[in-house]
Amino acid sequence: MNHRKFKYNRPSKSKFGKKQKATMLIQQKKQKDKTGPNKPVGQGKPLRIQTMLKQVIPLKFPSVFAIGGLLTIILVIPTLIVTPFVSGDEQEDITVEKEMTEVALTADDSPFSVAVMRNESEEVEDIPLENYVARVVASEMPAEFELEALKAQSLAARTYIINHMIHQGAGGNTEDVYVTDTVKHQVYKDEAELRQQWGNDYHWKMNKINEAVVATKGEILTYDNTTITPAFFSTSNGYTENSEDYWESELPYLRSVESPWDEDSPKFLDQKVFTIEEVEQLLAIDLPDRENVSVEISRTESDRVHELTIAGNTFSGRDIREDLGLQSSDFTIEQKNNHLIFKTEGFGHGIGMSQYGANGMAKEGKDYREIVQYYYQGVEISEVTDTAPMLVSR
């Protein structure tokens, strides 16, 4: 059995006193049922109060009052103790519900609309800008995330669409006239789709996201007074990626930064197992020595695969990730007999803002401004009315 691994080495209960005149005894009378002695408790006669007099003497008025007072203590006070707790809990639930402030987006919040080509209907819908941003955030980031992380995502989503609209159709590229509702641009789901997805949670989730969008209304990210490409992804391997190490272009604000919060992500680790035949087919190569597959790997600054040479065939880490459908381009390869095991760290291309990293920063008390300016180096937060007046004037 061959077992080879190609891996990069990473730098007092209270008691009642006796009474002189009478003793109050609470006793549950046991009642035998015809069906036998195993009748469940509670199906017999209810509790009754019996007064056991030590001496049969005429009762005077003071004694009557004493007994009546004791009966009140035994019967009435427990009811008064229990009732406030029950009604109090119910009242607390009602209060919490009333305290949820409704946050709604209005037509005045959006200076213009976004033309969205719906994938299912193949029809174009005009969506007010801030409504579009809110639904993109709802589609791209878990509503359970911290509010400051949702605000950071709102800036990224708003900046993306503004940047796209400024440059759409440039150079005669008719494919970019409309923005789609898929991962080609940004995932967008309308109200009906979100209600179906979230069910009874729709109200509070959408309310929280609207709060994040309203708090950042009209804000976008710029570098040298120009809108940026606000790339974002789910989970890093501990570092983000320099843009040129995955894409062709080098962008000054998309630099590799440490992102240790991502290790708490449920998507941090993954693996996929392929037969050697499957790898040959997916990569369109031939592996003649299947018992001893030769692999050489070089890595980027962020420890992702830069290039991989397998049996004399060279691929970029991005090519391997996309061709094999891996979660990340940070992977190791282990051979076990006729199988190759690809183990990955992180989820996504790794460029720009890590969503789980942003949530981790928010949990530590960082606000959305600090988050975006950490993942997008050297950027400023600007107003869309100042940066893209041509869109506002449409």
User: Same domain, yes or no, for 294 and 374?
Assistant: no
Distance CA 94, CA 88 (A): 10
The pLDDT tens digits for 50-108 are: 444 344 444 444 554 555 555 555 554 444 434 343 344 444 443 344 456 888 888 88
236 and 249 belong to one structural domain: yes
The CA distances from residue 246 to 105, 235, 259, 304, 352, in Å, are: 37, 16, 18, 9, 11
Tell me if 275 is assigned to some domain: yes
Identify whether residues 182 and 324 lie together within a single domain: no
Pairing status of strand 179-180 against strand 113-117: parallel
Is residue 41 in a domain? no
Q: What is the chain's alpha carbon radius of gyration, rounded to the nearest angstrom?
A: 34
Last residue of a domain, one of 312, 329, 345: 345
| Spatial CA neighbour of 56 closest among 19, 23, 18, 21 | 21
Clarify whether residues 192 and 132 are in a common domain.
Answer: yes
Cα first-last separation, the chain? 69
pLDDT digits (tens, 9 = 90+) for 103-146: 888 888 898 899 999 999 999 999 999 999 999 999 999 999 99
Any domain includes 315 = yes
pLDDT digits (tens, 9 = 90+) for 191-236: 999 999 999 999 999 999 999 999 999 999 999 999 999 999 999 9
Q: What is the pLDDT of residues 240-290, one digit of tens each?
A: 999 999 998 999 999 999 999 999 999 999 999 999 999 999 999 999 888
The whole-number pLDDT of residue 123 equals 92
pLDDT tens figures, 147-174 = 999 999 999 999 999 999 998 755 555 5
Looking at the structure, tell me whether residues 230 and 118 fall in a common domain.
Answer: yes
Neighbours of 151 (CB within 10 A): 26
Looking at the structure, tell me whether residues 123 and 206 fall in a common domain: yes
Instruction: Summarize pLDDT for 4-58 with one digit per residue, the tens.
Output: 444 434 444 343 343 333 334 334 444 444 444 444 444 444 444 344 434 444 4
33 is a domain residue: no
Domain finish residue from 309, 328, 345: 345
Please report which confidence band the pLDDT of residue 381 belongs to, taking 50, 70 and 90 as the band edges. Answer: very high
The answer as to whether 71 is a domain residue is: no
Both 339 and 359 in one domain: the answer is no
Is the model's pLDDT at 320 over the cut of 60? yes
Q: Report the number of distinct structural domains present in the chain.
A: 2
Residue 114 domain-assigned (yes or no):
yes
Residues 215 and 137 in one domain: yes
Assess if residue 193 is contained within a domain: yes
Shared domain check, 279 and 240:
no
Round to whole Å and give the CA distance between 35 and 38: 8
Q: Is the domain of 227 the same as that of 367?
A: yes
Cβ-contact 208, 145 below 8 angstroms = no
132 plus 279 within the same structural domain: no
Question: Are residue 362 and residue 333 in the same domain, yes or no?
Answer: no
**Range 285-291 contact pairs with CB under 8 angstroms and sequence separation of 24 or more:** 285/310, 285/311, 285/313, 286/311, 287/311, 290/338, 291/2
194 lies in which domain range?
107-262+350-392
Residue 221 lies in a domain: yes
DSSP state letter for 364: T
